[in-house]
């Protein structure tokens, strides 16, 4: 395992070192890409001075709202669609093409409906995330063995206990895949919406810095977005692994 960790660290560190070298030697111009180490220093300065705290807070809050909403609505809709077979047959082609639809195209509609601000941004994040949760819920529910569903019925478990003791343990791995995707998509949706048109938030700040050719702000902020996305993914991944490990021990 530790050998793999070393390889992983090398797979990240070597390209980074090469980019750093290329920037320092001058193969990549400072206006195109500043050296990664300089971005880290810049990010540290921004975090310490606190100038971006309001933007960060707003973006992260919107991501959390979009994420939580998509998980709750997605699981509920998934359970409903799973229970009603004709509905599922009707909607399945929609789900399979959904992610080719440019959701951002609906952003102006949301702005007109809700005004420029948090709501249309949250809605974009929610719309990107919710279908991943729905499809994950469907495949999770599909993986519950029929015999266990019948056993629960024979034992007259009430729906809540049946869901808790039978459905959830079996559906959990697939469900969690959907939750991980939902977290990533909420983040992508909110940042993207802010980037296209907004008055505040991290995406807006990156756009603003880009339009003003302000590389000393833009690159550290891009780095911040990347670090947060990767950290969020890593944390959910670690949690997922722990859940899976516990499951296989319990068997």
Partner 1 sequence: MNLLKLPGVSAALLVLLLLAAWQATFMLAGAVAIASPSATFAYLAEHLPDLLPHVWATGQAFLYALVIAIAGGLLLGLVTGLSATAAETAEPLLLAANSIPKIALYPVVLLLFGIGLPAKVAFGAIHGVIPVAIFTMNAARGVPPVLLKTAAVLHLSPADRIRSILLPSALPEVLTGVRLGFSLTLIGTILGEMFGSQSGLGYLLMTSIGLQNTQIIMAVTVLLIAFAAIVSTALLAWERHLRLRR
List of residues contacting partner 1 (CB under 8 A): 3-4, 7-8, 11-12, 31-33, 86, 89-91, 93-94, 96-97, 99-102, 104-109, 112-113, 180, 183-184, 187-188, 191-192, 195-197, 203, 206, 210, 218, 221-222, 225-226, 229-230, 232-234, 237
Residue 189's nearest CA partner among 99, 104, 109 is 104
Q: Residue 157 carries which DSSP code? A: -
Shortest CB 23 distance to partner 1, Å: 13
Residue given tokens 């409906």 in the structure block: 113
Pick the closer one to partner 1 by CB: 35 or 162: 35
Number of Cβ within 10 Å of residue 227's Cβ equals 12
Give, in order, the Cα–Cα distances in Å from 29 to each of 21, 26, 33, 34. Answer: 12, 6, 6, 7
- Count, residues in the chain: 251
Pick the closer one to partner 1 by CB: 32 or 199: 32
Tell me, rounded to whole angstroms, the distance of Cα 15 from its chain centroid: 25
Shortest CB 6 distance to partner 1, Å: 9
Pick the closer one to partner 1 by CB: 2 or 147: 2
Shortest CB 222 distance to partner 1, Å: 5
Contact 244, 180 (CB under 8 A): no
Shortest CB 7 distance to partner 1, Å: 4
Pick the closer one to partner 1 by CB: 68 or 98: 98
Half-sphere CA count of 95, side-chain side, radius 13 A: 21
Shortest CB 206 distance to partner 1, Å: 6
Pick the closer one to partner 1 by CB: 56 or 152: 56
């Amino acid at each position: 395992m530790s050998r793999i960790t070393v390889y992983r660290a090398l797979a990240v560190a070597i390209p980074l070192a090469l980019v750093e070298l290329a920037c320092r030697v001058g193969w990549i111009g400072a206006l195109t890409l500043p050296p990664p180490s300089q971005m880290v220093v810049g990010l540290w300065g921004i975090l310490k001075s606190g100038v971006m705290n309001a933007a960060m807070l707003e973006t992260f809050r919107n991501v959390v709202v979009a994420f939580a909403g998509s998980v709750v609505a997605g699981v509920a809709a998934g359970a409903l669609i799973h229970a009603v077979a004709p509905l599922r047959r009707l909607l399945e082609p929609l789900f399979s093409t959904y992610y080719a639809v440019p959701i951002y195209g609906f952003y102006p509609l949301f702005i007109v409906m809700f005004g420029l601000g948090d709501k249309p941004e949250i809605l974009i994040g929610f719309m990107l995330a919710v279908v991943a949760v729905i499809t994950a819920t469907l495949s999770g529910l599909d993986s519950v063995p029929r015999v266990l569903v019948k056993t629960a019925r024979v034992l007259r478990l009430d729906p809540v206990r049946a869901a808790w003791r039978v459905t959830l343990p079996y559906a959990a791995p697939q469900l969690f895949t959907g939750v991980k995707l939902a977290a990533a998509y909420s983040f992508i949706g909110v940042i993207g919406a802010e980037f296209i048109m907004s008055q505040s938030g991290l995406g807006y700040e990156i756009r603003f810095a880009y339009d003003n050719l302000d590389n000393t702000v833009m690159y550290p902020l891009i780095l911040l977005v990347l670090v947060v996305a990767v950290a969020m993914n890593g944390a959910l991944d670690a949690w997922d692994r722990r859940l899976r490990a516990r499951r296989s021990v319990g068997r």
